[in-house]
Amino acid sequence: LQVVRRAGGRLFTRSPVTRILLEAWQAVGVQLATGEQVRAARVIHNGGPARLRRLVGEENLPADYRARLRSLKDVPCGALVLGLREPLFPEVPMLLTPGARRVVGIFAPTFFDPTLAPPDRHQVDVFFPLESEDRRAELARVWEDLRTLFPRLDALVEVAVPMLFTGGWTGAESGQYVGQTGEARLSPQTPIEGLYLVGMDLQGSAVAGDIVPLGVRRLLEVLA
């Protein structure tokens, strides 16, 4: 934030953008929910492809790009956040679980930053795709997987909070499917002059949030 301020930038928090402003097919700024318009030489969108379509207006996007954005498959997915008395896997920050029926990966944020949990407590985020509308059944399968993977699980869990994402989380809008990974993801450049993208949907091959800095680096290369 200091870097932005030192460079003469302004920060707007709790200020949803309602429109990306275009003039002569060029992005010239954004409109905030307050009605205020913020002019800028470049607009960098971090809100995912579905919001991009809404904020720019579908009618303002070239047909092939509109079709490209629409073709991206979302991934209805969920996370089960667990508060634990002991780490589930103390030696690594992340566990991929290809043999499990529903759980695909488990991340341990407190591996790197123990202050995210109270003293002597630990957090893991368990990720899984949602394969039906029956959320109770989906969660039951996740618990089955976890109990198979960690037979002592029930003795360790103090808190369990499920979070279900069906398009609301940016990272869920263009899932890492076959045909939708690596270079097949979105370019930081859009067909609209002055409008660029960053975030989870950009080109790059990585797991979860690791893909975000790769996209930022690509954008910096484009802007250099």
Ligand X SMILES: Cc1cc2nc3c(=O)[nH]c(=O)nc-3n(C[C@H](O)[C@H](O)[C@H](O)COP(=O)(O)OP(=O)(O)OC[C@H]3O[C@@H](n4cnc5c(N)ncnc54)[C@H](O)[C@@H]3O)c2cc1C
Q: Smallest gap, in angstroms, from Cβ of residue 175 to ligand X?
A: 11
- Identify whether the C-beta of residue 56 lies closer than 8 Å to the C-beta of residue 43: no
Cα–Cα distances (Å) from 182 to 60, 112, 122, 200, 204, in that order, read 27, 27, 32, 11, 4
Cβ proximity to ligand X, 39 vs 155, nearer residue: 39
The contact set with ligand X (CB under 6 A) reads: 16-17, 46-47, 51, 79, 107, 109, 125, 163, 169-171, 199-200, 208-210, 212
Q: Smallest gap, in angstroms, from Cβ of residue 31 to ligand X?
A: 10
- Identify whether the C-beta of residue 147 lies closer than 8 Å to the C-beta of residue 126: no
Please give the backbone phi and psi of residue 99, each rounded to the nearest 5 degrees, phi first. Answer: -85, -10
Cβ proximity to ligand X, 15 vs 71, nearer residue: 15
Cβ proximity to ligand X, 167 vs 209, nearer residue: 209
> Amino acid identity, residue 107?
F
Cβ proximity to ligand X, 49 vs 194, nearer residue: 49
Cβ proximity to ligand X, 79 vs 146, nearer residue: 79
Which H/E stretch holds residue 162?
A: strand 157-165
Distance of CA 105 to the CA centre of its chain: 15
Q: How far apart are CA 223 and CA 48, in angstroms?
A: 20
Q: Smallest gap, in angstroms, from Cβ of residue 203 to ligand X?
A: 13
Record the tokens describing residue 173, joined without a space.
Answer: 């809008």
Q: Smallest gap, in angstroms, from Cβ of residue 92 to ligand X?
A: 12
Q: Smallest gap, in angstroms, from Cβ of residue 125 to ligand X?
A: 4
